[in-house]
Chain A
Amino acid sequence: MSDGPAAQSPWQTVTIRRIEKRTPRVTSFFLQPSRPFAYRAGQHVDVRLTAPDGYQARRSYSIASAPEAGETIELAIERLDDGEVSPFFHDIAAVGDEVELRGPLGGHFVWSDSDGGPLLLVGGGSGVVPLMAMIRHRAARRSAVPVALVFSARVWDEVIFRDELIDFHDRRDGFDLVLALTREPARRPADYSRRVDAAMMEQSMVRLPAPPRFAFVCGSNAFVSAAAQALIDAGVPASLIRTERYGV
């Protein structure tokens, strides 16, 4: 896996070009960098907001778009009601506004089709964002690498990128979507209505033609701990598992 040091990446001003509501709590922001911005699927950026008195808040957000996507980069931000930065994006930020951004960052939670597979992706809530970049990258490259995504959300309407994921799944070209809804009955035949566990991981791996070469797990800290343990209990060697924890 290509793990070269990130090039120097100072802060730059980016412009919000488009805003798209994805679910009741998650909205995508399409940002136009002012300088060339090359990145790899799975990387994140730091975003910085500055108040008139100089106070600054800064948070990390994964990139949802594929490196091939072109002009803008997509961030998908979940609203935490008592948060500082995510409510700013949801309530105040408008098309044409500028924010400061630094990146791309992170050289570990990344995948390119040349890294090979099969891949087992496990996302909880907004933790699907960097996995989405990998799935879109795979599609853009017309890669044949087998990929299974186990995506846990509370309810059907909170499945971020749902239509696009189902569309990828229906192509039957080696990408499989497995949904695990924790607070609603499953809607698709092979989906689950419970939290991720080892049995679910075992059954999802059967969808891959061979054991996974890499497993990527992303979400809240509690989700990542539980999902990584489920993978280990399902026999995935710890050395193949890469995690990205959103901290809270």
Chain B
Amino acid sequence: MVTRGFSSGRKPPTDTDARIPPGQYLEQGFPVLSAGPTPRVRTEDWSFTLKHGPRPIKKWNWTEFNALPLTKMTRDIHCVTAWTKFDTAWQGVLVDDILADAGIEPPTGFTLALSFDGYTTNVPTKDLTAGKAMVALLYEGKPITPDHGGPARLLIPHLYFWKSAKWLNGLQFTERDEPGFWELRGYHIYGDPWREQRYTGDP
């Protein structure tokens, strides 16, 4: 339906069209969205735990985690509130490298990302491996600010950005695909921006 009197003043140049998923618009800033107050996690208190169900597989403190191989990832990110930001530059530890350090293959097909504030989000394990996702420690070369999920956040750039859990403190392998925080509150179980899977019931 064409809206009376609305014209496309903000239409991005066509050479970037192919990078903007349906229903998204290009944003230069970096908006912040979250369900509660921003936790201030000190790196002294930070830890990251890999779990299979309730059972811990391995736990790292900040120093140990920072000793893992660091990888750079520069990617477009897509927020479900309809902004897309190009070329965000992150550095962190690939989930592949975390698994390698723990000496395991992924034990199940699904994973829950766990955060310090109790937030969870679910993702199929194959969306985390093969270089697709990392635990990011730096944004544009600097420590990630608390607002943006620091000290460490998950980065899964090919899914809507709520899947890239802030204030991450663990990954838990689960037998089933268990809906996380927003997935229980009306958001899509998978969240592919290119298929516009925003809300429960979207194809």
Contacts and interface: CB of A to CB of B under 8 A. Distances in A.
- Grouping DSSP codes into helix (H, G, I), strand (E, B) and loop, the B interface class, with mixed when no group exceeds half, is loop
Interface string B13-48: 000000000010100010111111111000000000
Size category of the binding interface on chain B:
35 or more
Nearest to B31: A247
Interface string A222-242: 000100110110000011011
A241 B185 contact: no
B16 to A, nearest CB: 13
B67 interface: no
Interface in B162-196: 181-182, 184-186
Interface in A4-60: 5-9, 13, 46, 48-53, 55-60
Interface stretch (B3-11, B51-59, B105-113, B132-140): B3-11
A57 B10 contact: yes
Contacts of A97: 3-5
B83 interface: yes
B110 to A, nearest CB: 18
A174 interface: no
B201 A99 contact: no
Size category of the binding interface on chain A:
35 or more
A243 interface: yes
B81 interface: yes
A243 B37 contact: yes
A98 B3 CA distance: 7
Contact of A5 (B2, B81, B82, B186): B186
B104 interface: no
Interface stretch (A102-110, A125-133, A142-150, A158-166): A102-110
A51 B3 contact: yes
A236 to B, nearest CB: 9
Contact of B82 (A13, A59, A92, A100): A59
Interface of A: 3, 5-9, 13, 46, 48-53, 55-60, 84, 88, 92-93, 97-100, 105-109, 217, 221, 225, 228-229, 231-232, 238-239, 241-243, 245, 247-248
Top 6 A-B pairs, shortest CB-CB distance: A8-B201, A6-B186, A55-B8, A107-B185, A247-B31, A228-B37
Interface of B: 1-11, 23, 25, 29, 31-39, 81-83, 117-118, 147, 181-182, 184-186, 199-202
